[in-house]
Amino acid sequence: MPAGDLTARQLELIATLAALEPPPWFMGGYAEDALLAGAVTREHEDVDLIFPRAEEELRRGQLAELGFRDWETWGEASPGVPFYLFGQSGDLRLDLGIVDQANGSNWMRVHRLAFTVGGEEAPAGYQLRLPDDMFDHPTVELEGIALRPISPLALHQMRAGVAKRNSFGPLSERQRVTMAELRARFFPEVQDDDLLPPSEPL
């Protein structure tokens, strides 16, 4: 595990979050570490959670009790409706993803993003259909903490889907390596094009 007070505090936060009822779902770097290594492999800037929109009020209330009360909307699913939120408590940073569920499917709706890519407004105006098993993966352990990651396919498809649109800029080398590791571990026989999530214009 990387040494550092911030990593230790992030793990304490993860343990607290994982003990909530019902337990939340993790995405991003810590979820990838849990799935691929069961241990922290590098320093992380933040902790990432994701949940269905039906849980938004519950999760905001739980997080407010943990000191996360003010949220910045970094992405909207529709005008005034967030799908990507950022919050901070001291030096602990949380990113929240909110998934819309309709007709039995999970949708990441990207109506507008509150940042630029290459000096231009970030590409938006589409929705990605994420896999049906997104919220079905078994609990795994990270440094002895039992947590629920979204499925490896969901992790891969979220990165691949937004990268194809360049909505968050080019993938970093670390992100490319992690995506390759997810593919090799969990779906080695699947072709690249088949790992892209279906998308539709909004």
Q: What CA–CA distances, in Å, run from 36 to 107, 182, 183? A: 25, 7, 11
pLDDT of residue 191: 87
Tokens 């990838």 identify what position? 32
SS3 of 26, please?
Answer: strand
Q: How far apart are CA 110 and CA 8, in angstroms?
A: 33
pLDDT of residue 4: 81
SS3 of 104, please?
Answer: coil
User: How do the pLDDT tens digits run along the chain, 202 residues long?
Assistant: 676 899 999 999 999 999 999 999 999 999 999 999 999 999 999 999 999 999 999 999 999 999 999 999 999 999 999 999 999 999 999 999 999 999 999 999 999 999 999 999 999 999 999 999 999 999 999 999 999 999 999 999 999 999 999 999 999 999 999 999 999 999 999 988 889 999 999 9
Q: What CA–CA distances, in Å, run from 95 to 52, 86, 192, 198? A: 14, 5, 27, 24
Token pair in block for residue 60: 């905001």
Label residues 187-196 b or e (16+ Cβ within 10 Å = b): eeeeeeeebe
Q: How does DSSP assign 60-93, residue by residue?
A: HHHHHHTT---EEEEEEEETTEEEEEEEEETTEE
Strand positions, DSSP E, the chain: 25-27, 47-52, 71-78, 81-89, 92-102, 105-110, 112-113, 116-117, 120-121, 126-130, 140-142, 145-149, 199-201
Q: How many CB atoms lie within 10 A of CB 173?
A: 8
pLDDT of residue 3: 66
What domains can you pick out in the chain, each with its CATH number? 5-201 (3.30.460.40)
pLDDT of residue 85: 98
Q: How many CB atoms lie within 10 A of CB 177?
A: 11
Indicate whether this model's pTM tops 0.85.
yes
**For residue 54, what is the DSSP state?**
G
> Whose CA is closest to 198, among 103, 131, 124?
131
Token pair in block for residue 184: 């090799």
